[in-house]
Structure 1
Amino acid sequence: MRSTRHSPPRNPSVRIIPVLGLLAALLLAIGGPLAPRATAAADPTARAVRIMPLGDSITGSPGCWRAVLWNRLQSSGYTDIDFVGTLGPQGCGQPHDGDNEGHGGELVTNVADQNLLPGRLAATLPDIVVMHFGTNDVWSAIAPDRILAAYSKLVEQMRASNPDMKILVAQLIPMNPGSCTACAQRVVDLNARIPDWARTTSTDRSPVTVVDQWTGFSTATDTYDGVHPNASGDDKIAARWYPALTALLDTGTPGDPGDPDDPGDPGDPGGGQPSCSASFRAPSVWQGGYQGEVTVTNTSTSPVSGWTVTVAPADGARLTQIWGGTLTTTTDGTAAVTNEAWNGTLAPGASATFGFIASAPATAGAPSATVTCTAHTASS
Structure 2
Amino acid sequence: MLRFMFVGDSMTIGSAGEHTWRYRLWQHLRDSCGRPFTFVGPRETLHDQSADAPTSYAYADPDFPRAHLAGWGEGWHHMVPLIGETVRACRADVLLVSLGLIDLGFYTNAEQTADNVRAFVAEARSANPRVRMAVMPVLHNIRVEADETFAEQVTRFNGLLAKTIADVDDPRSSLLLVPPPASYDFHVDTYDGTHPNESGEHRIAEAFAEAMDEEWGLGGPYSATW
TM over 0.5: yes
Query: Is 1:173–2:139 an aligned residue pair?
Result: yes
Superposition TM-score, scaled by structure 2 size: 0.82
Task: Choose between structure 1 and 2 for higher RCO, CA contacts under 8 A separated by at least 6 residues.
Answer: 2
CA deviation string 1:114-138 (max 9, x = no partner): x222232232110111100111012
Give the match for residue 106 of structure 2. Answer: 140
Alignment of 1:333-348 (within 5 A): none
Match of 1:85 in 2: 41
Q: What is residue 68 of structure 1 aligned with on the other side?
A: 24
Which whole-Å CA distance do the structure 1 matches of 2:133 and 2:144 have between them?
Answer: 32
Q: Which residue of 2 aligns with 1:204?
A: 171
**Does 1:58 find its partner at 2:5?**
no
Unmatched runs of 5 consecutive residues or more in structure 1: 1-47, 253-276, 285-380
**Alignment map for 1:1-380 (pairs within 5 Å):** 48-62=1-15, 64-90=20-46, 91-94=58-61, 95-112=63-80, 115-140=81-106, 142-177=108-143, 181-182=147-148, 183-213=150-180, 215-246=182-213, 250=217, 279=221
Secondary structure, counterpart of 2:201 in structure 1: helix
**Any idea what SS the aligned residue of 2:4 has?**
strand
- Residue type of the alignment partner of 2:65: D
Q: Residues 89 and 97 of structure 1 are in contact (CA less than 8 Å); yes or no, is this contact kept in structure 2?
A: no
Q: Secondary structure at the match of 2:188?
A: coil
Corresponding residue SS for 1:220: helix
- Distance (whole Å) between structure 1 residues aligned to residue 79 and residue 159 of structure 2: 22
| Deviations, residues 238-258 of structure 1 (Å, cap 9, x unaligned) | 110112234576469xxxxxx
Structure 2: gaps spanning 5 or more residues:
47-57
What TM-score do you get using the length of structure 1 for normalisation? 0.50
Q: How far did 1:177 drift? A: 3.5
Instruction: Evaluate the alpha carbon distance shift between residue 179 and residue 236 of structure 1 in structure 2; reply closer, same or farther with a 3 A threshold.
Output: closer
The structure where helix makes up a greater share of residues is 2
One-letter amino acid matched to 2:192: D
Q: Is the Cα–Cα contact under 8 Å of residues 172 and 212 in structure 1 kept in the other structure? A: no
Distance (Å, rounded) in 2 between the aligned partners of 1:110 and 1:78 = 34
CA distance in 1, matches of 2:110, 2:182: 19
Aligned 8 A contact 1:55 1:133 in 2: yes
Q: Which residue type is aligned with residue 198 of structure 1?
A: I
**Per-residue deviation, residues 251-301 of structure 1 (Å, max 9, x unmatched):** 69xxxxxxxxxxxxxxxxxxxxxxxx8x478999xxxxxxxxxxxxxxxxx
Structure 2 CA distance for aligned equivalents of residues 199 and 249 of structure 1: 16
| Amino acid aligned to 2:120 | L
Q: CA deviation at 1:110?
A: 3.4
Q: Aligned AA for 1:110? A: H
Larger Rg: 1
CA distance in 1, matches of 2:153, 2:223: 30
Cα offsets for 1:44-74 (capped at 9, x unmatched): xxxx101110011111134700000101110
Q: CA 1:92/1:247 → structure 2, altered by over 3 Å: closer, same or farther? A: farther
SS in 2 for 1:148: helix
Q: Which whole-Å CA distance do the structure 2 matches of 1:142 and 1:187 have between them?
A: 11
Q: Which amino acid aligns with 1:107?
A: G
Identity %: 23
In structure 1, give the amino acid aligned to 2:162: P
More strand by share: 1
Deviations 1:325-378 (A, max 9, x none): xxxxxxxxxxxxxxxxxxxxxxxxxxxxxxxxxxxxxxxxxxxxxxxxxxxxxx
Task: Give the Cα separation in 1 of the matches to 2:216 and 2:170.
Answer: 18
Q: Is the CA contact (8 Å cut-off) linking 2:110 and 2:154 kept in structure 1? A: no
Which 4+ residue blocks in structure 1 deviate beyond 3 angstroms? 89-92, 177-180, 182-185, 246-252, 279-284
In structure 2, relative to structure 1, the CA distance for the partners of 1:185 and 1:222 (3 Å cut) is farther
Shift of 1:216: 2.2
Specify whether residues 180 and 84 from structure 1 end up closer, same or farther in structure 2 by C-alpha distance, changes over 3 A only: farther
The aligned residue for residue 273 of structure 1 is none
Whether the aligned pair in 2 keeps the contact of 1:175 and 1:187 (CA below 8 Å) is no
* Paired residue secondary structure (1:212): coil
